[in-house]
Chains A and B, each alone.
Chain A
């Protein structure tokens, strides 16, 4: 590993200034569970680490008066899933945050880091998409918002421009009678990168017989995590039935454009996209019904 510099700004303005000053060699440091390893293995050249863990907006999370949730980009997963309100209102976030690595990793790793690392297989991004998350970005030319589904652009790449950083992610308040869930498939029971992962968020009619709306996302089946609008559309307004859910699963499977590699074959991934979509829709329904 090459020697590098470290700075720890105390405010967003200082962070933006530090990124501007050090230019292309600067890298935001959140939990470091991706970037430090990449630097150590020589997969990423880093001149200056800009640690954002001293910035309040980036490390805290809070509920708005409208029931929305804003999560600081560098807030560690363990704090998030350990919070009783988050557990109650956003169980899908808990699904994701609690399976990224083990307890040591979770005590450092953040949703912002998972999103900004922009791996197609990242285990929080499908959930962030399904929950309708919006990225709050700050940079040299001010603030802007980007929906999570538009954030990643290619493996390891995203819409952040030079000098920009992700401050937080905001999730709208869950609708009445709604539920969401995330699941990943790995060959072992721990320590693996998702072969496929999927998240669903569904809102049901008051009597639970019908889908009002739904958002489905699948990961590790394309260069970026995919928001599969067609899968949600296959549910919206339809009765809660196996046939409807199968149609949504088929839409997710259709949308998948996976590759074959050491983690799985293209055919296997396409198939699993459907299997997991079905699983997460069923879990989301159960949660919507208060199970």
Chain B
């Protein structure tokens, strides 16, 4: 660990066993598909076999006639008998298609039956009439004026005003500072390349699953493995026109999400089926549903031109970044234009972003959404310039690094950040100081940045008669946040981790919480926990003051001990709790914050050694080191887990993962057999170095750590492969096939 300076903490920085650990390793934890309600029906979704088609007619009569089938619903059940299906708004139209299907896998109908087997057989009996339309699957092709149009009503948002006619370009956004022409005129070295990446999926292990019960009093209860029970409640309310006051979302344990479980898919459908049948309805996806029907991350086409002076100063950058949004509008390219140069001080920059709809699933967030593909391009050009100038690639990054006070991604100056410290840690690492020898081998490095967000968090803390505390929080725990929040509460109250019991509760039981995403929970919910802790201390001061014959503001609290002004009376937190709650009256406080949009920014830096087999084109990862600024690592083991996970997902994305489409717009590899995420045999132990540059925006200096770690790997591996083979890789994945094509012309 590399630490600048931080206070002496008692709990923060230790590595206790997580509260959810035993249930998870013994198989007792209840995930989405484990919810069993008395008398529940099984629901299944019928999906479009076409990438683009008008939906002319759905006839469910044969399915409804099958024994055991209880209901079939379509978008008609959303809009009502008199509603206009052609005006079905986004996002409802992505839940059940209205008059058009926009990708293969687009849901068109759903059935509820007495069991899953009957439900699946019933799907085959639903007759759907499609009028197949030409599909467009490539982001640059979709931008052409003659491309098939997905949304007749869509007009491009551009700095010059909306487009005249319909277009697949959702928005053209510009991120520009300085004067790039003047900037490039100063440069001695300019490199320019075009890069492209394929759509990839988060690959969470647990498929989506949801159960809904629409009671006869119109109270709707939903159990789901979501990344946000409050946002899920909001979406279901919006899609079904049902007030949030009548919806309760109960989050289950979650088997990964990475951004892909923010949106609802099955929840509103299960609710419709439950309303139609009066029974609870359970639904779950299989892996093909997950690939074809949920939200992967965009494929991209990115052109960047980058220039530096011969003394190694980056001066100008220009880029044109086109991102697939999938079937409905998104904003990935806009974010890409902001993050692409964030790790560096470059005076003159201009990046044009193009968010584009194509006939593929609507994309969703995937850890640091938009940034990995941007870094894949940018960090390779940085390496090329460093090579041309014969400057060590790490030193070159250090010479140009962003730092406190330099211009941040939205124009505002950065507060204290840790990019330089990450690169220095790389320079000093055992890995970088061990020479790499042998043929067909190469070492690559790359930096990565992600904003990290704040947003709203709320927690409740209640004191138990024995002086322990219960912490009820509303954010799904994906990465060990029950532990990291309990630790921050324990630190605030001066008690042990074991004296805090943390539980994730439903939407009826705690104040509003935004998503478990944006690397925000340990950061923002940690602030809410700190707030609640302070409120609790204040409440106990109120209670102690009369018995000590003093006023609350005369009672001090330090290092877990209350004392009166002259120090003649003292009580630990636990003693005070037992005295006033155990022998007094119950005590519950809450802490609620809105931590703002931006949360301080996180940086990562990765080093990788590869060997590329010249005969087969297969790349083996020999050694990998992930370095990241965690601000303050609350639970270092879980920080390391996030860093390693980012690296592993990045390795998969770099080497093998892709949505592989046939000519008809069908994903040909929609299973884990052919969609090749790495197995344990494909990655070495990922070494980690945690850097701690405390975040000035957080009481304990915490920075979000969930996302920055997936930004560097694509570029780091590409840089390593380029050194191993002498050939630059501008397209992902760098599969054996692609390596043979690019290094040996075997195509």
Contacts and interface: CB of A to CB of B under 8 A. Distances in A.
Interface of A: 1-3, 42, 185, 187-193, 195, 261-265, 267-268, 271-272, 275
B117 interface: yes
Given A2-B121, A193-B674, A188 B736 contact: no
Contacts of B655: 187
Contacts of A190: 679, 681-682
Nearest to A264: B737
Contacts, number: 61
Contacts of A192: 673, 676
A101 B121 CA distance: 30
Contacts of B615: 275
A195 B121 CA distance: 34
B412 interface: no
Given A1-B117, A265-B747, A271-B746, A191 B656 contact: no
Interface in B702-747: 735-737, 740-741, 746-747
14 contacts: A1-B117, A188-B676, A189-B682, A190-B679, A190-B682, A191-B673, A193-B674, A263-B674, A265-B737, A265-B747, A267-B740, A267-B741, A268-B737, A275-B616
A190 to B, nearest CB: 5
A195 B739 CA distance: 15
B681 A185 contact: no
B18 interface: no
B678 interface: yes
A195 B674 CA distance: 11
Contacts of A271: 740, 746
Contact of B746 (A188, A195, A261, A267): A267
A213 B674 CA distance: 37
B292 to A, nearest CB: 14
Interface hub of A42, A264, A267 (most chain B Cβ within 10 A):
A267
Contact of B735 (A2, A42, A187, A267): A187
A177 B119 CA distance: 60
B580 interface: no
Interface string B605-625: 000000000011110000000
B668 interface: yes
A267 B747 CA distance: 5
Contact of A185 (B117, B616, B669): B616
A188 B117 contact: no
Interface of B: 117, 120-121, 615-618, 655-656, 660, 668-669, 672-674, 676, 678-679, 681-682, 735-737, 740-741, 746-747
Contacts of B676: 187-188, 192
Contacts of B669: 262
Contacts of A265: 737, 741, 747
Nearest to A260: B737
Contact of B678 (A3, A185, A188, A263): A188
Contact of B668 (A42, A261, A272, A275): A261
Contacts of B617: 268
Given A261-B668, A265-B737, A267-B747, A188 B656 contact: yes
A193 B669 CA distance: 12
Contacts of B735: 187
Nearest to B661: A262
A169 B10 CA distance: 68
Contacts of A267: 740-741, 746-747
B682 A188 contact: yes
A187 B117 contact: no
A268 B740 contact: yes
A33 B669 CA distance: 20
Nearest to A270: B746
B744 to A, nearest CB: 8
Contacts of A3: 117
Nearest to B740: A268
A193 B746 CA distance: 21
A184 to B, nearest CB: 11
A188 B681 contact: yes
Contacts of A185: 616, 618, 736
Contacts of B672: 191
B674 A262 contact: yes
A164 B531 CA distance: 75
A12 to B, nearest CB: 33
A1 B736 CA distance: 36
A120 to B, nearest CB: 15
Contacts of B668: 261-262
Contacts of B120: 1, 42
A268 B681 contact: no
Nearest to A265: B737
A185 B679 CA distance: 16
Nearest to A266: B747
B616 to A, nearest CB: 6
Nearest to A189: B681
A187 B736 contact: yes
A187 B672 CA distance: 13
B660 A272 contact: no
A264 B669 CA distance: 12
A275 B613 CA distance: 11
A85 B55 CA distance: 63
A76 B736 CA distance: 32
A46 B309 CA distance: 71
Contact of A189 (B121, B679, B736, B740): B679
A272 B117 contact: no
B720 to A, nearest CB: 17
A194 B366 CA distance: 30
Nearest to A272: B616
Contacts of A195: 736
Contacts of B682: 188-190
A184 B432 CA distance: 34
B47 to A, nearest CB: 14
Given A188-B656, A193-B673, A272-B616, 19 more contacts: A2-B121, A3-B117, A185-B618, A185-B736, A187-B655, A187-B656, A187-B676, A188-B676, A188-B682, A189-B681, A190-B679, A191-B673, A192-B673, A192-B676, A261-B668, A264-B737, A268-B617, A268-B736, A275-B615
Nearest to B747: A267
A268 to B, nearest CB: 5
A81 to B, nearest CB: 19
Contact of B679 (A191, A193, A262, A264): A191
Contacts of B681: 188-190
Contact of A262 (B117, B660, B678, B747): B660
B589 to A, nearest CB: 50
A192 B736 CA distance: 14
B502 to A, nearest CB: 36
Contacts of A189: 679, 681-682
Nearest to B670: A262
Nearest to A191: B679
Nearest to A279: B615
Contacts of B117: 1-3
B679 A188 contact: yes
A265 B736 CA distance: 10
A262 B120 CA distance: 27
Nearest to B619: A187
Nearest to A195: B736
A192 B676 CA distance: 8
A218 to B, nearest CB: 15
The 7 closest A-B pairs by CB, nearest first: A189-B681, A262-B660, A262-B669, A262-B668, A275-B615, A190-B679, A268-B737
